[in-house]
Structure 1
Amino acid sequence: MREFNEEMISFIDASPTPFHAVEWMARTLECRGFTRLAEDEKWELEEGQDYYVTRNDSSIIAFSYPPCSEKGYTIVGAHTDSPHLRLKPSPLTTVSGVKRLGVEPYGGVLLNPWFDRDLSLAGRIVYLDGEVRKETLINIDRPIAVIPSLAIHLDREANSSRTINAQSDIVPIIATGDVEFESFILSQIQDDTGELTLLAHELSFYEHQKGSFVGVESEFITSARLDNLLSCYVGLQALLETSYPMMCAFMDHEEVGSESHVGAGGTFVEETLRRIAGNDFEKLMRRSLMVSCDNAHAQHPNFPGKHESEHAPLLNQGVAIKINSNQRYATSSRTQGRFVQCARALHIPTQTFVTRSDTACGSTIGPITATRLGIETIDVGVPTLAMHSIRELAGISDAFGLYRILIHLGDY
């Protein structure tokens, strides 16, 4: 379990953006014998082979072939994106003698923890090398920015009633001297030495501090992007170790609604499954199971009243099965029963998560893919504290337990 979690943290550290996460997973799959497919080419799938395909380099689907004739695929769904601060197209400004880079919040980001952190920058850029358009990933991988707090002397209400203006208060500072943004970004390209011109970018700030174990017995994991790269890692490792036909579908843009050509609301998963199944698509969907893996809200010890008392998952007490009668989660009694039966056979505890009846319930890719594919689905997740913060907290045993269940779920 310790080794599993250490490798998971290494993956998250190496994946500051969805582009980097997909690149890491693609390399891992190829090292394990998976063949890359291209969406714009004809597929000739061979029995007993493993494949993967990407879209936009930020979503990835990997699968063994063929699916089981009786039970189809166990499909592990997760998302590659996390709430963060995205660089604006023309970000550079000068205020009070410092250079700043303007940002836009991506998703439901918790803004307070972004103050006074060592921030780095990573993502994808598109540029001209002479007359040739190219694109590449960059990761500066050192602290280049900070968002300083306003001193308590200048805001006496900071500890009781402070609000944050996303336009004016959360702007990273990067320098006091002259900085030319395009030149600085292009200087990160290693391979090209000709005349370069920046055309576009998708760059994100992230906390440079690495993930780690904390607690008296090192029983917690603290890291950025646990939601939801933790689930991506768990699903990928289960795919690599299971003996049953499995698919992983890790999608971008979940944190902003999934309505994009690379999101769960798009065509990527459906088109991939149709190409695999041919005329048997409907049969495959009736026999398969989607396991939507997305972190669950653990009961916060300082705010226990925020939870439904009988359905408040605890850290290191098992995977949470997420249930909502209004279909914000796609779990049914049938899919829950199958998942719990497998967990009990492995002596792995599970918990249930239901939001308070007077609290709004979030959602996942589960209901989206269930609607689009007509596939039976269960929503599960590792209990997590500080979700959508710059650093989140989970227990060391829960991700490993989910991994073990997914390996054997095809038995049930």
Structure 2
Amino acid sequence: MVTKMSIAKAYASDFLAFINASPTPYHVVDNAKKLLLNAGFLEIKERDSWSGVVEKGKKYFLTRNGSSLIAFGVGEDWVPGNGISIVGSHTDSPSLRVKPVSKKAAEGYLQVGVELYGGGLWHTWFDRDLSVAGRVYVAEEDGSLKPKLIKINKPILRIPTLAIHLDRDANTKFEFNKETQLFPIAGLAESMLNQLDESASATEEEAEFKPLSVMSERHQPKLIAAIAEAAGVPISALRDFELILYDTQPSTFGGLSDEFIYSQRLDNQMMTYCAIRGLIDSLEDEDALVGESCIRLISCFDHEEIGSESAQGARSNFLPSVVKRLSGLTGASADATETALSGASFYEQTAIKSFLLSADMAHAVHPNYAVRYESSHKPQMNKGPVIKINANQRYSTNSPGLLLLEEVAKYKHVPMQLFVVRNDSSCGSTIGPALASLLGTRTLDLGNPQLSMHSIRETGGSDDVEHACSLFSSYFKYYSTVEKKIYVD
């Protein structure tokens, strides 16, 4: 017999497989595409006309920069100007990224220069088994330059701490210089002696002009060789890359009863996965879009951890432009000009009738630091998603949104919790306020509770994966019904 507990563990197991395969935002989007394609979604492109392509009753997705993604299903009863139910999340996490010129060496060690991305708990990156993954551009035989995703599946880097004997204050005050003492060690310099510098021979012998210094001068030759091997191309085909360090220890169940998930990047891959899975689950029945008057949509953005100010961030035109194109969708084979004109007139109607759930992880109460939490707002793991509220609009939740979410949660009996930060503490923020101001759309902020946010190893609740997936699925299924019951101007 299938039990509620076994269903929750199945969702959590699928999520673990997803996060272990997704060390970078590029991998998140690539694995999301695989899930969507398997669920019958069709890929479309921003640069193409959607006239006569996007139809009622069908499911689609598109990407930008390979690190942001939007997917949606169009209701068969959709008419121009109707609303869109949206779940927004982000694909990035605090990390260390390989510098454009990363070649370092000191005291006989080979090192790799890294740059801080986002607001990480950087001391947690010490003494971890690290590797690299990311996007590599390679030259094809026809002269085109194409991206490949790589993931080197073994530890090749490490940032060692200083021995306690040389720093007796380390246990009371661990401090380090982020520029000079956060260099990962990649190997010993003597191991390079008498070895063929393949990358140098492959690049320096080329006679053509190079605007930048050759790759072997910018990066460790053995690192270049490892990247080329992971990409399955000769070193000479490498042109550039964007690499992110990740912890090679797999994400896993934890706790005496597997009640926890021990992992990196829970913030925010858990909510991104739940958004994807919630949309897919809401559309799994063949007739799911029959009688549906709305569009069901997820938007997963890069660069939230650094403020979302980019072409593929939440503050970009990515979501507004997609909403604008969809708002005038007739479902007929109208020409592009007619569709564009319709979109311009219906966009404002669609925006005000729509609703956005901004899904970003939340803080679970920490038993050793309970005093840091507001006394009446201490979220617990495995007790359901946390609705985040802030009077200063660091979160966009208000009472109409809260009531709407409470109503859709009833359909699948999903528990929820409330959170506000203490008045004497600072408050984080999310993509919610940014998108609310861009679109003028009603918005609510929520997320699953976790511990050790922004650490290289975080802790979440294994049952909360299913809680969020069920909540999002219910939201998509019942939004068009529930929205009409809650009056707001």
Taking structure 1 as the reference length, the TM-score comes to 0.96
- Residue identity in the other structure for 2:69: I
Partner of 2:138: 127
* Alignment of 1:305 onto 2:355: no
Distance 1:266 1:65, change over 3 A: same
Partner of 2:396: 330
Q: Tell me by how many angstroms 1:360 deviates.
A: 1.1
Instruction: List gaps (5 residues or longer) in structure 2.
Output: 1-7, 193-219, 283-287, 328-342, 483-489
Partner of 2:74: 65
Partner of 1:53: 62
Asked whether the 8 Å contact 1:89–1:200 carries over to 2, the reply is no
Where has structure 1 moved over 6 Å in runs of 4 or more?
none
* Alignment of 1:136 onto 2:176: no
Moved more, 375-384 or 335-344: 335-344
Q: How does 1:228-377 map onto structure 2 within 5 Å? A: 228-242=268-282, 243=288, 245-277=295-327, 278=343, 279-377=345-443
Partner of 2:244: 204
Q: Tell me by how many angstroms 1:162 deviates.
A: 1.7
Moved more, 376-385 or 335-344: 335-344
> Residues of 2 paired with 1:205 and 1:68: CA distance?
44
Partner of 1:106: 117
> Residues of 2 paired with 1:54 and 1:347: CA distance?
33
Q: Tell me by how many angstroms 1:345 deviates.
A: 4.5
> Residues of 2 paired with 1:31 and 1:247: CA distance?
17
**RMSD between aligned alpha carbons?**
1.6
> Residues of 2 paired with 1:164 and 1:224: CA distance?
22
> Residues of 2 paired with 1:281 and 1:164: CA distance?
51
Partner of 2:230: 188
Partner of 1:386: 452
Partner of 2:4: none
Q: Tell me by how many angstroms 1:145 deviates.
A: 1.0
2:14 pairs, out of 7, 14, 18, with 7
Q: How does 1:127-166 map onto structure 2 within 5 Å? A: 127-129=138-140, 131-166=143-178
1:171 pairs, out of 183, 189, 203, with 183
Distance 1:127 1:347, change over 3 A: closer
> Residues of 1 paired with 2:88 and 2:131: CA distance?
29
Q: Tell me by how many angstroms 1:282 deviates.
A: 1.4
> Residues of 1 paired with 2:351 and 2:140: CA distance?
46
Q: Tell me by how many angstroms 1:184 deviates.
A: 3.4
- Residue identity in the other structure for 1:2: K
> Residues of 2 paired with 1:306 and 1:73: CA distance?
38
Superposed CA offset, 1:191-214 (max 9, x none): x45x72533221000001111111
Asked whether the 8 Å contact 2:385–2:468 carries over to 1, the reply is yes
- The count of aligned residue pairs is 410
Instruction: List gaps (5 residues or longer) in structure 1.
Output: none
> Residues of 2 paired with 1:384 and 1:184: CA distance?
35
SS in 2 for 1:159: coil
Partner of 2:24: 17
Superposed CA offset, 1:51-70 (max 9, x none): 00000000000000148559
Identity, in percent, stands at 40
Superposed CA offset, 1:167-220 (max 9, x none): 122111111122514333223221x45x72533221000001111111111111
- Residue identity in the other structure for 1:315: M
SS in 2 for 1:240: helix
* Alignment of 1:30 onto 2:30: no
Larger radius of gyration, structure 1 or 2?
Answer: 2
- Residue identity in the other structure for 1:220: F
Partner of 2:339: none
Asked whether the 8 Å contact 1:384–1:392 carries over to 2, the reply is yes
Q: Tell me by how many angstroms 1:281 deviates.
A: 1.5
Taking structure 2 as the reference length, the TM-score comes to 0.81
More strand by share: 1
Q: Tell me by how many angstroms 1:246 deviates.
A: 1.4
> Residues of 2 paired with 1:68 and 1:366: CA distance?
25
> Residues of 2 paired with 1:398 and 1:164: CA distance?
36
Moved more, 353-362 or 399-408: 399-408
Superposed CA offset, 1:322-346 (max 9, x none): 0001110011110011112222443
Asked whether the 8 Å contact 2:92–2:305 carries over to 1, the reply is yes
Asked whether the 8 Å contact 2:30–2:66 carries over to 1, the reply is yes
> Residues of 1 paired with 2:236 and 2:356: CA distance?
45
SS in 2 for 1:228: helix
